[in-house]
Chain A
């Protein structure tokens, strides 16, 4: 116990120290310089506490989470289907592979204004942004999951007369599980970014809407409080799914 604690301080000590120093500098500069753009840390934390307890963030938080989950559900089903198709059939891979690869790296955020005009300022725009950010990474990982399979296993399955479906379910899926899980994790990480990006650009709804609301009236301590909330939100989402994926993959490894 003491040993691990000692290792922890040695590993994270300098970082924690720098964090404390930064917080102290923020507080001191914020108090003494009295700049509009940098309220002292303490007043940001107070604003955060007020925001949280007043319930002003409950509705946007719920709202954003629903949009995120809907978008992720679409990305996971559609993206996995596309990726499985690409991994199983060379023709599908050749036909749509270039689009998936382009979608993975192209700045699809440029389509947000188009979504905004077609879908309006409702949830659909956010959901579309979440899907655009996450679907291609899910598809790419699903395709890799299908391809990583050992050919000898496939050959054995076929020689024992297993049907295509049986081979898919009993050989390909378990073997590709780690890649599916990685796709899920990366998809969530990108999806959260898509959600907040979409909301800030729509500028009215959800957590991103709060950023715009406090940003435009220069209500800085509340703005920083919302940014803090978004950072926490992203960390919890990404951290949660990382934890979940670790559990899932370990589970698979144990049963295999």
Chain B
């Protein structure tokens, strides 16, 4: 005879699930996942021929060779100049354009459709045009970075400025604040979180632009390093270079996210 079991009040919880609630448990899970990931990479790799996917250990040792010889640091530095200058231009041009777009109706009507369009299309398609105009130069690579990133800063700044509570600006006006003062002391601080979100997305796009520019408008940076290694059919160093760029990207994105959180707290005060 089978006794009717009382229905359990809750579905049984996994023992493992409760691990995710503790700090130490989370750390253990993350380490286990990392070990598993590296283990799979190691097992999937094959070092017998240069042309095959390399193992983890070989990639790391090749990476160390590139770092020690100074090739990777120098090329990365050169490549990052493009990113730095390009992103600076994006900020200096993008934020004011965004503010104007939000505050001037006619500007909004004219500029906004182009921006939505620029976000939707694959910007890489116009690189041959940039190359024909500017040649294989630093300026051409910077232009690519700017074109990849600037729409996101402009759009997000415009949206953030437009969303500022009208009660705030009206109050400022009624206390006799000028347009400029309202913009500086009321609108901009309130718009900072939205602007930072745009800057974070734009950084991600600028990083893509940097890599695309390096690979298509080849200069002295990682583009030429990769082209050289590709020509000699060395997969492991190319993978090592690619991983370095990806890790650099992750670090930069985390940095911007951290700034975003800090500024978000400041903006709320």
Contact residues in A for B226 (Cβ distance below 8 Å): 113
- A118 near B210 with CB under 8 A, answer no
Contact partners of B241 in chain A: CB under 8 A? 110
Q: Interface on chain B toward A: helix, strand, loop, or mixed SS?
A: helix
Task: Judge whether B242 and A111 touch: CB under 8 Å.
Answer: yes
Q: How many B residues, CB 8 Å from partner?
A: 60
- Distance A99 CA – B41 CA, assembled complex (angstroms): 15
- Chain A: minimal CB distance from B63 (Å): 13
Asked if A117 and B230 sit within 8 Å, CB to CB, the answer is yes
A218: Cβ under 8 A from any B Cβ: yes
Name A216's closest neighbour in chain B (CB-CB).
B128
Asked if residues B120 and A107 are in contact (CB atoms below 8 Å), the reply is no
Of B16-24, B93-101, B173-181, the one touching chain A: B16-24
Please indicate the chain A residues that have their CB under 8 angstroms from the CB of B26 in the complex.
Answer: 94
List which B106-129 residues lie within 8 A (CB) of chain A.
Answer: 106, 109-110, 112-114, 117, 120-122, 124-129
Q: Which of A71-79, A139-147, A195-203 contacts B (4 or more CB under 8 A)?
A: A195-203
In the complex, A90 has a CB within 8 A of chain B? yes
B11 within 8 A of A: yes
Q: Are A113 and B133 in contact (CB under 8 A)?
A: no
C-alpha spacing A14/B132, complex, angstroms: 31
Residues of A in contact, count (CB < 8 Å): 59
Q: Which residue of B lies closest to A161 (CB)?
A: B7
Pair A234/B17 contact, Cβ less than 8 Å = no
B24-37 interface code vs A (CB 8 A; 1 in, 0 out) = 00100110110001
Are A109 and B132 closer than 8 Å at their CB atoms? no
Interface-lining segment among A25-33, A47-55, A223-231: A223-231
Judge whether B21 and A36 touch: CB under 8 Å.
no
Closest CB in chain B relative to A60 CB, distance in Å? 13
Asked whether A37 lies within 8 Å of B129 as measured between CB atoms, the reply is: yes
Asked if B253 is at the interface of the complex by the 8 Å CB criterion, the answer is: yes
Tell whether, in the assembled complex, residue B129 and residue A223 are in contact, meaning their CB atoms are under 8 Å apart.
yes
B33 touching A96, Cβ below 8 Å: yes
- Closest chain A CB from B256 CB (angstroms): 9
Q: Is A1 an interface residue (CB 8 A)?
A: no
Measured between beta carbons, the chain B residues less than 8 angstroms from A116 are: 230
Evaluate contact between B110 and A15: CB separation under 8 angstroms.
Answer: yes
Once bound together, how far apart are the Cα atoms of A108 and B207, in whole Å? 9
- Number of A-B contacts defined by CB within 8 Å: 154
Nearest A residue to B241 via CB reads A110
Q: Is A211 a contact of B125 with CB atoms below 8 Å?
A: yes
Name the segment of B162-170, B183-191, B231-239 touching the other chain: B231-239
Asked if residues A110 and B122 are in contact (CB atoms below 8 Å), the reply is: no
Contacts of B196 in A (CB 8 A): none
Q: Is B215 an interface residue, CB under 8 A from the partner?
A: yes
Shortest CB-to-CB span from A158 to chain B, Å, is 6
Say how far A199's CB is from chain B's closest CB, in angstroms: 9
* Alpha-carbon separation in the docked complex, A111 to B240 (Å): 10
With both chains docked as a complex, state the minimum distance between the C-beta of B128 and any C-beta of chain A, in angstroms: 3
Q: Which residues of A contact B38 (CB under 8 A)?
A: none
Nearest Cβ distance between residue B103 and chain A, in whole angstroms?
Answer: 16
CB <8 Å contact, B204 and A196: no
Per the bound structure, the CA–CA distance linking A168 and B26 in Å amounts to: 25
Q: Does B224 make an interface contact (CB < 8 A)? A: no
Residues on A lying within 8 angstroms of B by beta carbon are: 11-15, 18, 36-37, 89-91, 93-96, 98-99, 102, 105-114, 116-118, 158, 161, 164, 189, 192-193, 195-197, 200-201, 208, 211-212, 214-216, 218, 220, 223-224, 226-227, 230-231, 234-235, 238
- In the complex, 12 of the A-B residue pairs with CB atoms within 8 angstroms, ordered by the A residue number, are A12-B113, A15-B109, A36-B132, A91-B17, A96-B33, A106-B253, A113-B215, A113-B226, A117-B230, A117-B233, A118-B53, A234-B122
Having A110-B249, A113-B230, A234-B120, one finds 14 other A-B pairs with CB under 8 Å, namely A13-B109, A15-B110, A89-B14, A106-B247, A106-B253, A107-B208, A107-B210, A109-B212, A117-B51, A117-B233, A161-B7, A192-B122, A230-B122, A235-B120
